[in-house]
């Protein structure tokens, strides 16, 4: 089984959409997405600097739009289809669109609202996130607890993302667990923690007005790595996930148990394929960073990869 995965916040870089705009219909698609999300995604993806696209209300729709743009380019180039999908954090919205649970327009409206609601929640208290790479996992978790930090993302491959107050994150960086590195992330708040509870109600109200379909392919949830076969349940889990930890480690374990034979990460790609390489060693991967990577992704989908 070949699966498609969709990245989360922090994967964006200045100008990364520039090569995609050279494709037929790409600008028009992004302009439509911009209208639905309430963000100028063409300018954000080609002209704005790192600080501008770090803003939560910009970053989230920008990432999902890029994922969907690259997804449509990939699937229009072959009759082969991925057997399953999963998204990391906000990438779950792109995954649900790819699975047929949501339409493109509903997905972009929802991610626009999600970005604004989470930005508002983040503004209430100064907070952030840092990746802890390496070190004994038990010791890392104990250290986070002692600093009142939350393990917001269990990413697998020896990576846990800590979230909470900026002073506590600074203290973690100054005195890391032995054998670990602490890397501040380019996000504007402590996502997937209690800091995001104010955003959940707004998202729940918006989601209640949507009419999700049941997934056309296997969908794994960040909540616990399980498969979700009901569209409404998938959407409800996506909403609650805003204030709950991301268990990408459990998703990857589920990929292995399901016999996944290849993983394609859609734009802005690289982060999740890196985790797969460490967590599911030997599994073929393709990171679709630019249109030049589409041919390799099509080959993997069709079972033609070297």
Q: What pLDDT is recorded for position 304?
A: 76
Residues 87 and 199 in one domain: yes
pLDDT in tens, 249-292: 999 999 999 999 999 999 999 999 999 998 899 999 999 999 99
Query: What is the mean predicted confidence (pLDDT) over 110-131?
Result: 95
Is residue 62 domain-resident? yes
- Domain boundaries, position 20: 2-123+193-301
Closest CA to 117 of 166, 170, 188, 213: 188
Q: Is 89 a catalytic residue?
A: yes
Whether 292 is in a domain gets the answer: yes
Report pLDDT digits (tens) over 11-57.
Answer: 999 999 999 999 999 999 999 999 999 999 999 999 999 999 999 99
pLDDT value of residue 157:
81
Are 150 and 162 in contact by the 8 Å Cβ rule? The answer is yes
- Is it the case that residue 306 has pLDDT exceeding 60? no
Residue 305 pLDDT level (bands cut at 50, 70, 90): low
154 classed as catalytic = no
Angle at 200 between CA 120 and CA 207, to 5 degrees: 115
77 and 94 co-located in one domain: yes
* Residues 103 and 153 placed together within one structural domain of the fold: no
pLDDT of residue 303: 85
The pLDDT-based confidence of 168 (bands split at 50, 70, 90) is very high
Instruction: Report pLDDT digits (tens) over 184-220.
Output: 987 888 999 999 999 999 999 999 999 999 999 999 9
Identified catalytic residue from 89, 127, 130, 180 = 89
Residues 69 and 115 in one domain: yes
Is there a domain that residue 9 lies in? yes
The verdict on 247 and 290 lying in the same domain is yes
What's the average model confidence in pLDDT over 61-67?
98
d(CA 145, CA 162): 10
pLDDT at residue 50, rounded to an integer: 93
CATH of the domain at 260: 3.40.366.10
242 and 272 housed in the same domain: yes
Q: Is residue 306 part of a domain?
A: no
Q: Which of 130, 154, 192, 244 is catalytic?
A: 192
- Write out pLDDT tens, residues 138-165: 999 999 999 999 999 999 888 999 999 9
82 & 211 share domain = yes
Confidence (pLDDT) at 196 = 95
CATH code of 151's domain: 3.30.70.250
How many domains does one find in the chain?
A: 2
Q: Model-level pTM greater than 0.75?
A: yes
Look up residue 289 and give its two tokens: 């960073």
- Average pLDDT over the chain, rounded to whole? 95
Tell me: do 151 and 116 sit in the same domain: no
Pairing assessment for the beta strands 2-6 and 262-265 based on DSSP bridges:
parallel
Q: Specify whether 248 is located in the same domain as 141.
A: no
* Angstrom distances, CA of residue 161 to CA of 58, 81, 135, 152, 191: 22, 32, 13, 6, 10
């Amino acid at each position: 089984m070949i699966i498609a995965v969709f990245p989360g916040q922090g994967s964006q870089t200045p100008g990364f959409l520039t090569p995609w705009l050279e494709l037929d219909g790409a600008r028009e698609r992004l302009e439509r997405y911009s209208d639905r999300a309430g963000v100028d995604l063409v300018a954000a993806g080609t002209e704005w600097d790192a600080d501008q696209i770090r803003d939560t209300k910009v970053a989230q729709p920008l990432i999902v739009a890029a994922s969907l743009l690259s997804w449509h380019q990939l699937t229009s180039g072959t009759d082969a289809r991925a057997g399953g999908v999963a998204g990391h954090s906000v990438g779950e919205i792109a995954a649900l669109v790819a699975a047929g649970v949501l339409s493109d327009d509903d997905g972009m409206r929802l991610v626009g609202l999600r970005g604004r609601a989470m930005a508002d929640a983040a503004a209430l208290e100064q907070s952030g996130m840092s990746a802890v790479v390496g070190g004994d996992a038990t010791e890392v978790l104990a250290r986070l607890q002692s600093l009142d930090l939350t393990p917001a993302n269990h990413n697998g491959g020896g990576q846990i993302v800590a979230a909470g107050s900026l002073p506590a994150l600074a203290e973690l960086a100054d005195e890391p667990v032995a054998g670990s590195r602490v890397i501040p992330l380019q996000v504007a708040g402590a996502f997937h923690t209690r800091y995001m509870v104010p955003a959940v109600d707004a998202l729940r109200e918006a989601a209640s007005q949507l009419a999700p379909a049941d997934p056309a392919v296997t969908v794994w949830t960040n909540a616990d790595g399980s498969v979700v076969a009901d569209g409404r349940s998938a959407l409800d889990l996506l909403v609650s996930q805003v204030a709950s930890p991301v268990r990408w480690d459990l998703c990857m374990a589920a990929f292995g148990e399901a016999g996944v034979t290849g993983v394609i990460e859609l734009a802005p790609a690289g982060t999740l394929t890196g985790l797969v390489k460490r967590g599911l060693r030997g599994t073929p991967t393709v990171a679709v960073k630019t249109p030049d990577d589409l041919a390799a992704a099509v080959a993997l989908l069709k079972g033609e990869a070297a």
